[in-house]
Amino acid sequence: MGRLESYRDLEVWRVSMRLAKEVYQATEVMPKHEIYGLTSQIRRACVSVPANIAEGYGRNHRKEYIQFLGIANGSLKELETLLLLANNLNYIDDITELMNLCDSTGRLLNRLRQSLQRGIDN
């Protein structure tokens, strides 16, 4: 693959954006009394993933980029936990596809972080 023109060219960003869209749609069915609680927290976590990928891409130094990818990964793990909780509370019936997207995003994030880290270590 050639040089990337934008963070929007990153597969990890595209998959995380799809995840965010799917999460927003899934949380539409959550109880109204959770709109400022669990629903809001889930939505903030899912938006944080692509946002931190993009922000890191825009930084001037590779180490900063890696740091932001780490933040994105942390938000992803938070999202997974919140989705499991919403499922356990019977707020969201089937989270299989969402968890699969989380797994895909996590693998892509780790691959990108490792690639960037190798560039620093060499």
Give the Cα separation of 62 and 68 in Å (integer).
10
pLDDT at 27 over 80: yes
pLDDT tens digits, one per residue of 8-26: 999 999 999 999 999 999 9
Is residue 80 very low, low, confident or very high in pLDDT (cuts 50, 70, 90)? very high
pLDDT at 3: 64
Q: Which residues contact 13 (CB under 8 A, 6 or more apart)?
A: 7, 50, 53, 54, 57
Contact between 92 and 31 (Cβ < 8 Å): no
Question: Rounded mean pLDDT of 55-60?
Answer: 94
Residue 70: helix, strand or coil by DSSP?
A: helix
Question: Rounded mean pLDDT of 61-83?
Answer: 98
Is residue 53 very low, low, confident or very high in pLDDT (cuts 50, 70, 90)? very high
Domain ranges, ordered by start, for the chain = 7-121
What is the second-level CATH architecture of the domain 7-121? Up-down Bundle (1.20)
pLDDT at 122 over 90: no
Query: What percent of the residues of the chain are helix, what percent strand, and what percent coil, each to the nearest 5?
Result: 80, 0, 20
Nearest to 99 by CA among 116, 112, 82, 114: 82
